[in-house]
């Protein structure tokens, strides 16, 4: 245990050579394959299916899935590195990979029966995209105030209700859907189900027209007496709240990775532009006021990166990470908003138009303080832990 703890402490500040090679290879893919599509994906609010297939081919869609099931057999930390690298180019692609790994696959790996793993992990590693359906119109931050019902029958559960804000919904083949088997039991009645897209009574509804991460689909789901086999219960009946809480703790680290990748991309653009842009006879980057702003942004970003890496290392080491996950999501989302705002400012008028990349990253950054637990919820979690 002491050796494991020492590895966590030593690894926070840097990456191993293998990890660096992995991250850089994903970034190289993003730079070559994703960057040329960013503008079009944002405008059309869609991700080409061919790009999703390429992500499966790259191996980032099943990072923790064992090799025996067709996955990469790597660690959670590698998934975090992949999300960071992709988000540096387009956070919409980063969150698509994030939800697949940190929410859907994570939940199935931890809570799924051997039968569920055998049936679904190979598909998730090879071609099936996953989505995570918890939120409803009346249950956002109060996640367990959901009203979607699951009525037990002899061989199945019949799900009826409406889910909102579901990432990856337009493209997903498999959904983790949370419903209550008994509203009188409160959160103890909540159960998680694996629902296939083609199950009768399951409908992907309206696609939202969003401010940022527009290529990432966000849709409502309609369940109309949708029959789900009993064997597709994830975990046990009434344990859905545990599935949600534990999975979302890890998902917050993934969002932290998305935010630091996004901020890094914006800072890269800002540094490059200020070196090229001339005012008053010299490059903007030669002015001390600009240098200091960039230095502050780089410092904030490095601090945010370390909080994300720390939380991910703790998770892989089997150590408590609840507080660290909340801290990394809170801080990295704030840093992303500040750094992207600075990038727009440094671009001046060019930063405010869609012909240049920082306008999009500024829009993309805002969601980090909202989804998978608002900043106020992260503060509440942190305060509860430090005061207990």
Last residue of a domain, one of 238, 257, 292: 238
Identify whether residues 71 and 150 lie together within a single domain.
no
CB atoms within 10 A of CB 325: 31
Domain range for 54 is 2-129
Domain CATH for 176: 2.40.110.10
pLDDT tens readout for residues 14-29? 799 999 999 999 999 9
Domain CATH for 293: 1.20.140.10
CA distances from 49 to 32, 53, 127 (A): 17, 6, 11
Identify whether residues 374 and 246 lie together within a single domain.
yes
Contact (CB, 8 A) for 82 and 20? no
Identify whether residues 269 and 178 lie together within a single domain.
no
What pTM was estimated for this model as a whole?
0.95
Identify whether residues 367 and 341 lie together within a single domain.
yes
Contact (CB, 8 A) for 140 and 94? no
CA distances from 161 to 136, 149, 178, 189 (A): 9, 6, 10, 15
**CA angle at 59 for the pair 53 and 64, rounded to the nearest 5°:** 125
Please give the tally of structural domains in the chain: 3
pLDDT tens readout for residues 216-228? 999 999 999 999 9
Distance CA 98, CA 61 (A): 9
Q: What is the pLDDT along the chain (388 residues), one digit of tens a residue?
A: 445 444 444 445 579 999 999 999 999 999 999 999 999 999 999 999 999 999 999 999 999 999 999 999 999 999 999 999 999 999 999 999 999 999 999 999 999 999 999 999 999 999 999 999 999 999 888 878 899 999 999 999 999 999 999 999 999 999 999 999 999 999 999 999 999 999 999 999 999 999 999 999 999 999 999 999 999 999 999 999 999 999 999 999 999 999 999 999 999 999 999 999 999 999 999 999 999 999 999 999 999 999 999 999 999 999 999 999 999 999 999 999 999 999 999 999 999 999 999 999 999 999 999 999 999 999 999 999 999 9
Identify whether residues 19 and 84 lie together within a single domain.
yes
- Give me the DSSP letters along 37-61: GHHHHHHHT---HHHHHHHHHHT-S
pLDDT tens readout for residues 115-147? 999 999 999 999 999 999 999 999 888 878 899
- Give residue 13's pLDDT: 53
Helices 2-11 + 288-316 axis angle, to 10: 160
Domain CATH for 51: 1.10.540.10
Last residue of a domain, one of 77, 98, 129: 129
Identify whether residues 294 and 190 lie together within a single domain.
no
pLDDT tens readout for residues 147-166? 999 999 999 999 999 999 99
CB atoms within 10 A of CB 388: 5
Last residue of a domain, one of 89, 104, 129: 129
Identify whether residues 383 and 269 lie together within a single domain.
yes
Which residues have a catalytic role annotated?
372
Identify whether residues 380 and 276 lie together within a single domain.
yes
Identify whether residues 253 and 371 lie together within a single domain.
yes
Identify whether residues 308 and 342 lie together within a single domain.
yes
Identify whether residues 144 and 163 lie together within a single domain.
yes
Identify whether residues 28 and 122 lie together within a single domain.
yes
């Amino acid at each position: 245990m002491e050796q494991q703890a020492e590895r966590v402490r030593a690894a926070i500040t840097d990456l191993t050579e293998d990890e660096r090679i992995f991250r850089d290879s994903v970034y190289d893919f993003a730079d070559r394959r994703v960057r040329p599509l960013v503008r079009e994906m944002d405008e059309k609010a869609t991700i080409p299916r061919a790009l999703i297939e390429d992500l499966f081919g790259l191996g980032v869609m099943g990072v923790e899935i064992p090799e025996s099931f067709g996955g990469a057999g790597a660690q959670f930390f590698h998934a975090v590195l992949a999300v960071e690298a992709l988000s540096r180019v387009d956070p919409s692609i980063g969150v698509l990979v994030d939800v697949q790994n940190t929410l859907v696959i994570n939940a199935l790996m931890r809570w799924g029966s051997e039968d569920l793993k055998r049936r679904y992990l190979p598909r998730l590693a090879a071609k099936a995209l996953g989505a995570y359906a918890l939120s409803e119109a009346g249950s956002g931050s109060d996640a367990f105030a959901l009203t979607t019902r699951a009525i037990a029958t002899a061989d199945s559960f019949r799900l009826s209700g409406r889910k909102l804000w579901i990432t990856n919904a337009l493209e997903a083949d498999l959904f983790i859907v949370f419903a209550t088997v008994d509203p009188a039991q409160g959160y103890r009645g909540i159960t998680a189900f694996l629902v296939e897209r083609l199950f009768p009574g399951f409908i992907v509804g309206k696609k939202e027209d969003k401010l940022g991460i527009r290529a990432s689909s966000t849709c409502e789901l309609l369940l109309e007496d949708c029959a789900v086999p009993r064997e597709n219960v994830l975990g046990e009946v009434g344990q859905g709240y545990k599935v949600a809480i534990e999975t979302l703790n890890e998902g917050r680290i993934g969002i932290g990775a998305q935010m630091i990748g996004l901020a890094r991309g914006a800072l890269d653009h800002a540094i490059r532009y200020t070196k090229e842009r001339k005012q008053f006879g010299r490059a903007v980057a030669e002015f001390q006021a600009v240098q200091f702003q960039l230095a502050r942004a780089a410092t904030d970003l490095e601090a945010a990166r370390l909080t994300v890496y720390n939380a991910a290392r703790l998770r892989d080491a089997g150590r408590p990470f609840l507080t660290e996950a909340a801290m990394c999501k809170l801080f990295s989302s704030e840093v992303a908003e500040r750094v992207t705002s600075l990038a727009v400012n440094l671009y001046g008028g060019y930063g405010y138009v869609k012909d240049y990349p920082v306008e999009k990253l500024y829009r993309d950054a805002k969601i980090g303080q909202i989804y998978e637990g608002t900043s106020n919820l992260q503060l509440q979690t942190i305060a509860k832990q430090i005061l207990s």
